[in-house]
Amino acid sequence: MYTVSTLYSKVLCIIEICVRKVIMVSAVYEPRAKRKIILAQAAGFCFGVKRAVEMTQEARITRVGKLTTLGPIIHNEQVIDRMRGAGIDTALTLDLITEGTVVMSAHGVAPSQLAQARAQGLQILDVTCPFVTKVHRTAKQLYEQGYQILLVGDKGHTEVRGIVGAVEEIGGSVIVISLPHEIEEFELGKKVAIVCQTTQNSDNYARIVAEVCRTATDVRAINTICNATDELQDAAVRMARQCDVAIVVGGRKSANTQRLRTICEAQGIPAYHIETVEEIEETWLEGKAVIGITAGASTPDWIIEEVAAHLNYGQLPPDWNLHHPNEKC
């Protein structure tokens, strides 16, 4: 038989256990912060990248023997890893490719590399973006017309090296700059032609043209920035102006993705460049009700969708509708 004090102690113990369970359940079911996800109206694969990837994948099915890309065909390590898993190798130089088919980058290559591949007896699959090919052609024509060639681009970028190589093949040279103040480092003639890496920023290009016009008297400015670049950047601006924070998805080495982050930050919000969903830090999202997503031209749909699902607590937003840049050659 229990005494009154014993029963009282047992009741207190039961109450304490119940309170603890309520607290635990409350912690488990604590409501999540509401988030609105805004996707840029244009994001992800452009025409040239999609074309290059599809051509390479088709070649793996239809061609016999080794298939090797000369460097990464696009600036996205996750896509390259998937290709490697499908039997498509990557080599940094032609000297390392001894047989089979070599795939030339979507960013283009110098003519000397095409000649070397032929001399080595390799089959060639050229997946250069047609818009990049236009820049090669334009730069050569302008040089042949007697213009000094100025290229607005990122020094060392694959596309820039290819454009420079195309002009050098016909005996010319190219000045490469990325910002207006760099013009002071060079002696410009009176006849100057200005072309542009396809993924540059239009406003920066316009400032450089204006600066050149202060010195040269005969200036030909051919805006060779592709439509997809303008569309991605314009969409990023519109998206960023509605958001508290922007997540910019794309390869670490992707120049156009880096520019998208800069553009978003210029709208007055924090912007974070990630390659994969695992890189997202929850501290970035604290106190942020509206989260924007944009992605570079080399970012595949599946990576963008993984990011969106993570930000939306495990599933794609109900109004999800991913549009690529609407551009054709």
Tell me the average pLDDT across 152-156. Answer: 94
Number of C-beta neighbours around residue 122 at 10 A: 19
Res 156 pLDDT > 50: yes
Look-up: residue for tokens 């236009």?
A: 134
CB 69 within 8 A of CB 76: no
> Which token pair is 37?
């996800």
Task: Give the sheet arrangement for strand 290-295, strand by strand.
Answer: 36-39, 290-295, 245-249, 271-274
Q: Which of 3-7, 14-18, 29-33, 238-242 has the highest mean pLDDT?
A: 238-242
pLDDT bucket at 328, cuts 50 / 70 / 90? low
Integer Rg of the chain from CA: 27
pLDDT at 153: 96
At residue 62, the pLDDT reads 95
> Is residue 327 over pLDDT 80?
no
What's the pLDDT band for 211 if we cut at 50, 70, 90? very high
What confidence score (pLDDT) does residue 56 get? 97
pTM greater than 0.85: no
Mapping DSSP to helix (H, G, I), strand (E, B) and coil, where does residue 51 land? helix
Compute the distance between CA of residue 154 and CA of residue 123 in angstroms, rounded to an integer: 30
Which of 198, 168, 43 shows the shortest CA–CA distance to 106?
198
Q: Which of 32, 84, 77 is nearest to 252 (CA)?
A: 77
Neighbours of 37 (CB within 10 A): 20
Domain boundaries, the chain: 36-45+228-311, 48-128, 131-225
What is the reported pLDDT for 16? 56
Q: How many CB atoms lie within 10 A of CB 92?
A: 10
Kindly state the percentage of the chain with pLDDT values over 70: 89
* Architecture, CATH, for domain 36-45+228-311: 3-Layer(aba) Sandwich (3.40)
Per-residue pLDDT reduced to its tens digit, 230-278: 999 999 999 999 999 999 999 999 989 999 999 999 999 999 999 999 9
Q: Are 161 and 188 in contact (CB under 8 A)?
A: no
Residue for token pair 């009176």: 190
DSSP 8-state secondary structure symbol assigned to residue 44: S
Q: Is residue 183 classed exposed, middle or buried when 0-12, 13-18 and 19+ CB atoms within 10 A define those classes? A: middle
Do the two domains 48-128 and 131-225 of this chain adopt the same fold? no
* Residues 105-126 pLDDT 10s: 999 999 999 999 999 999 999 9
Quote the crossing angle between the two packed helices 130-144 and 47-62, to the nearest 10°. 110
Q: How confident is the model at residue 34 (pLDDT cuts 50, 70, 90)?
A: confident
Tell me the mean pLDDT in the region 288-299: 97
Tell me: pLDDT of 22 over 60. no
pLDDT at 191 over 70: yes
Strand 191-196 to 218-221 pairing: parallel
CATH fold group of domain 48-128: Rossmann fold (3.40.50)
Instruction: Look up residue 168 and give its two tokens.
Output: 């050098």
Identify the CATH class of 131-225: alpha beta
Q: What percent of the chain has pLDDT over 90?
A: 87
**Which one is catalytic: 30, 159, 184, 231?**
159
Amino acid at 80: I
CA geometry: angle at 121 spanning 119 and 123, to 5°?
A: 115
Q: How far is CA 309 from CA 22, 162, 264, 315, 318, in A?
A: 30, 38, 21, 4, 10
pLDDT for the residue numbered 24: 45
Residue 8 has pLDDT above 80, yes or no: no
CB atoms within 10 A of CB 91: 14
Give me 28's structure tokens.
Answer: 């488990």
16 is catalytic: no
Strand 245-249 versus strand 290-295 pairing type = parallel
Is residue 11 within 8 Å of residue 262, measured between CB atoms? no
